Amino acid sequence: MAEQRSPHDLPDVSGLSVAVLGGTGDQGRGLALRLAMAGHRVVIGSRSRERAEGAAGELGEGLPVSGAENAEAARGCDVVIVAVPWDGHRALLESLAADLAGKLVVDCVNPLGFDGKGPYALDVEEGSAAQQAEALLPDSRVVAAFHHVSAVVLLDPEIDHVDLDVLVLGDDREATDTVRALASRIPGVRGIYGGRLRNAHQVEALTANIIAINRRYKAHAGLRITDV
C-alpha cells in the first residue's frame, strides 16, 4: 500500500552511483561534474576508454569520477544517464540493452535539427527520445530529465548555485522520485515531476526554444516552475 505523502518528499539518494553514457560531451561532463561535486561516485562512459578517462581526469582533482567504456560504466552503476548525441541514441541503447537491464535509465537527449533559421524539433518515430529508450530497454526503468541544463553553466567553476528546475518525466513514481532527488542534489536545482513519459516529446523539443532564447538574449536560459 502506498502511503500518503507530499509530492515534495524525496528519497535519500546520496549513496547512488551514476554512469553518464556519452559523458565526454559538454552536457555529460557538466552533469558528471555536478553529481560528483555532490558526492556521488560517477563513471563517465564513452566508446573509448581513453577518452572517458581523459574527460574524467579533466573534471578536477579529488572528485569521485572515473572513466570506462559505455557498457562497463552502465553495468557498474545504479543510475545511468544517457547523454549521447541524438544520432547515436538508437544504436547505443540497442547495443547496451543487456547491460542496462535492471537499471534506472535517465534519458536527457534532445532530438533537434539546425538549419539557417536556427534550431527545430525532429520527429521521432516512438514519439520522443525517452520513449525510444523505453521501447529499446524493456528491462530497464526509463525516466526523462535534465533536458534544459546549460552545459556552460554546469561546467563553470564560478557558478555554485544553478538556477533552474529539472523536469522529471516517467510512469514509475519511485523512479521519478529518485531522479528528482538526484537533480536536487545540485545546489539551486529542484527536480520537479513533469508528467508521464508520453509527454516527453515537448520537453525535449522545448530545448529548441531555449536555444532560440539564448541566442536572442545572449543568455544561458533555464526554466523555473512557479507555484510549486
The answer for 92, left when phi > 0, alpha when psi is -120 to 50, beta otherwise, is alpha
Q: What are the cell numbers at 210?
A: 531555449
Q: Give the HSE-up count for residue 4: Cα atoms under 13 Å, Cβ half-sphere.
A: 0
Which residues does residue 81 pair with via DSSP β-bridges, in sequence order?
20, 106
Interactions with a copy of itself, residue window 82-111 (CB under 8 A) = none
Considering only 167, 175, 183, 186, the residue that binds a copy of itself (CB under 8 A) is: 167
Which one of 34-42, 51-59, 80-88, 196-204 is the stretch in contact with a copy of itself (CB under 8 A)? 196-204
Which one of 78-86, 94-102, 116-124, 135-143 is the stretch in contact with a copy of itself (CB under 8 A)? 116-124
Which residues does residue 167 pair with via DSSP β-bridges, in sequence order?
192
* Residue 202 makes contact with a copy of itself by CB under 8 A: yes
* Residue 174 makes contact with a copy of itself by CB under 8 A: no
Specify the long-range contacts of residues 178-181, CB closer than 8 Å, at least 24 apart.
178/11, 178/13, 178/16, 178/79, 178/104, 178/143, 179/79, 179/104, 179/106, 179/143, 179/145, 180/10, 181/10, 181/11, 181/12, 181/13
* Residue 203 makes contact with a copy of itself by CB under 8 A: yes
Nearest Cα to Cα of residue 79 among 156, 153, 181? 181
Site string for a copy of itself, 176-195 (x = CB under 8 A): ----------------xxxx
Q: Which is nearer to a copy of itself, 61 or 123 (CB)?
A: 123
- Name the one residue in this structure whose C-alpha cell is 514509475: 172
* Residue 118 makes contact with a copy of itself by CB under 8 A: yes
Q: What are the cell numbers at 114?
A: 539546425
Q: Which is nearer to a copy of itself, 129 or 164 (CB)?
A: 164
Q: Which is nearer to a copy of itself, 103 or 201 (CB)?
A: 201
Tell me the closest approach of the beta carbon of residue 167 to a copy of itself, in angstroms.
Answer: 7
* Residue 65 makes contact with a copy of itself by CB under 8 A: no
Tell me the closest approach of the beta carbon of residue 100 to a copy of itself, in angstroms.
Answer: 25
Measured from the Cβ of residue 125, the count of other Cβ atoms closer than 10 Å reads 9
Considering only 64, 72, 120, 156, the residue that binds a copy of itself (CB under 8 A) is: 120
Tell me the closest approach of the beta carbon of residue 197 to a copy of itself, in angstroms.
Answer: 10
Whether 106 and 169 have beta carbons less than 8 Å apart is answered as: no
Residues that bind a copy of itself (CB under 8 A): 7-8, 117-121, 163-164, 167, 169, 192-196, 198-199, 201-203, 205-206, 208-209, 212-213, 216-228
